[in-house]
């Protein structure tokens, strides 16, 4: 009897759709990275001198999100340290995601801790933690490779610029029995261009640019991952090409393509269906967009929400408005709600922030003899924006009116 029950439970737990869902999760590093052969090879060439105990050149990897930078760095370093272990040569690597670590203190601690230094969560200065890290390094031998992923987040914090500068010079502070090599990774071309020349030339001794994937390349990447992730025969023929095409239409982002495929599978599973169809991919796109928009909109200050709401109302009325038109509309909303309005300048700032967050897009257009003017378009899904805005009780009342 017990066994019969176990069988029922096991059957319920077993996915009809997925064989190994986790190989589609963003942090999974696959064994092979098709269409990144030259980047893998180039980075391996840069780092390989570590196997001879020589200091590798520092490298800076950049390109848009989802172009395989993190995956390439992790795969090369995993393979390199495996080789080093086999040969008994002292090569270690430390991977730190700067965005997750947030402050220079925590970035320095993360590197130090990965090398076996104990660091209290607070109570020391960055300088003191850095000294402990140096002391540890001076007792080490061989090569330590430090990967700073999303390194553009470092200079955004106070002291971050200094830390980056010190790290690029760290070998001068060490005795010469150990070498530190740096691998910086960033999605932001702006960051690369904003680096001080001396930091750029040091961090970017070798620069590797990752181009976006094309639709056929994404299709190829997805097909290989899908073979491992899904049960045989559950994907409709059009599913993978559709995920690839949708992701390529944005900017050739493999993360986006994999997310679409995974969420489409999850939706099919939740609905109790035996196959994943194109319809599930479209629904997945909607669900991902909802999550993205709600993450941004929910945390906006009230006035930014009102500015966004003004944009949606004006677009509903017919055409993409200018900054001035949005400001007038926004002011009327504040009067209605009995609030003090912020300045035109501030509203203009809010619009730029929303642009950077991917919620709207502004375009300069020529309106005949009236000269040039800036048109603001909504870049996020209208329904998703309204749904997130109505979570704020202050704003919900006005949203209701728009829906009706």
**Which residues bind to ligand ADP, rule: CB under 6 A?**
26, 30, 33-36, 65-71, 187, 221, 254-255, 258
Dihedral of CA 369/346/150/134: which sign?
positive
Q: Least separation, in Å, of the C-beta of 29 and Mg ion? A: 11
Q: Least separation, in Å, of the C-beta of 252 and ligand ADP? A: 10
Q: What gap in Å lies between CA 345 and CA 341, rounded to an integer?
A: 11
Closest among 148, 150, 157 to 105, alpha carbons compared: 157
Q: What gap in Å lies between CA 355 and CA 377, rounded to an integer?
A: 10
Q: Least separation, in Å, of the C-beta of 97 and ligand ADP? A: 10
Nearer to ligand ADP, 164 or 254 (CB): 254
Tokens representing residue 283 in the block: 């629904």
Q: Least separation, in Å, of the C-beta of 69 and Mg ion? A: 5
Nearer to ligand ADP, 262 or 305 (CB): 262
Nearer to Mg ion, 70 or 313 (CB): 70
Tokens representing residue 402 in the block: 């728009």
Nearer to Mg ion, 96 or 309 (CB): 96
Nearer to ligand ADP, 147 or 297 (CB): 147
Nearer to Mg ion, 27 or 340 (CB): 27
- Angle formed by the axes of helices 254-270 and 239-250, nearest 10°: 140
Bridge partners of residue 209, in order along the sequence: 62
Q: Would you say 106 and 53 are in contact if contact means Cβ atoms under 8 Å apart? A: no
Q: Least separation, in Å, of the C-beta of 334 and ligand ADP? A: 40
Residue 202 interacting partner from ligand ADP, Mg ion, none (CB closer than 5 to 8 Å by kind): none
In the block, which residue shows the tokens 């200094």? 162
Q: Would you say 188 and 210 are in contact if contact means Cβ atoms under 8 Å apart? A: no
Closest among 84, 10, 13, 9 to 47, alpha carbons compared: 84
Residue 255 interacting partner from ligand ADP, Mg ion, none (CB closer than 5 to 8 Å by kind): ligand ADP
Binding residue (CB under 5 A) for Mg ion from 23, 56, 67, 70: 70
Binding-site size, Mg ion (CB under 5 A): 1
Q: Least separation, in Å, of the C-beta of 353 and ligand ADP? A: 22
């Amino acid at each position: 009897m017990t066994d019969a029950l176990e069988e029922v439970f096991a059957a319920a737990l077993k996915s009809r759709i997925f064989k190994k869902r986790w190989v589609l999760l963003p942090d999974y590093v696959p064994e092979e990275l098709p269409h990144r052969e030259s980047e893998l090879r180039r980075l391996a060439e840069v780092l390989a001198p570590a196997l001879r105990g020589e200091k590798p050149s520092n490298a800076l990897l950049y390109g848009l999100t989802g172009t395989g930078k993190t995956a390439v760095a992790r795969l090369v370093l995993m393979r390199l340290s495996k080789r080093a272990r086999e040969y008994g040569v002292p090569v270690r690597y430390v991977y730190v995601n700067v965005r997750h670590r947030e402050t220079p203190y925590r970035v320095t601690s993360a590197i130090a801790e990965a090398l076996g230094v104990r660091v209290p969560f607070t109570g020391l200065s960055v300088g003191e933690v850095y000294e402990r890290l140096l002391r540890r390094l001076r007792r080490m031998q061989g090569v330590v490779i430090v990967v700073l992923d999303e390194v553009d987040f470092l200079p955004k914090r106070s002291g971050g610029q200094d830390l980056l500068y010190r790290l690029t010079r760290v070998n001068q502070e060490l005795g010469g029995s150990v070498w530190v090599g740096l691998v910086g990774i960033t999605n932001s071309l702006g960051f690369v261009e904003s680096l001080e020349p001396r930091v750029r030339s040091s961090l970017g001794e070798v620069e590797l640019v990752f181009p976006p994937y094309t639709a056929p390349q994404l299709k190829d990447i997805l097909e290989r991952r899908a073979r491992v992730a899904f049960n045989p025969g559950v994907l409709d023929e059009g599913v993978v090409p559709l995920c690839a095409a949708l992701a390529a239409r944005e900017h050739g982002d493999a993360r986006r393509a994999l997310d679409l495929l995974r969420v489409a599978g999850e939706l099919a599973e939740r609905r109790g269906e035996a196959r994943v169809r194109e319809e599930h991919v479209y629904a997945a796109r909607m669900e991902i967009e909802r999550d993205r928009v709600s993450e941004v909109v929910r945390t906006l200050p009230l006035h930014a929400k009102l500015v966004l709401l003004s944009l949606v109302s004006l677009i509903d009325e017919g055409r993409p408005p200018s900054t001035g038109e949005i400001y007038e509309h926004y002011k009327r909303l504040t009067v209605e709600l009995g609030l003090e309005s912020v300045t035109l300048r501030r509203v203009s700032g809010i619009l730029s922030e929303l642009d950077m967050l991917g919620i709207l897009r502004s375009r300069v257009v020529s309106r005949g003899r009236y000269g040039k003017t800036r048109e603001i378009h909504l870049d996020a899904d209208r329904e998703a924006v309204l749904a997130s805005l109505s979570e704020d009780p202050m704003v919900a009342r006005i949203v209701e009116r728009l829906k009706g």
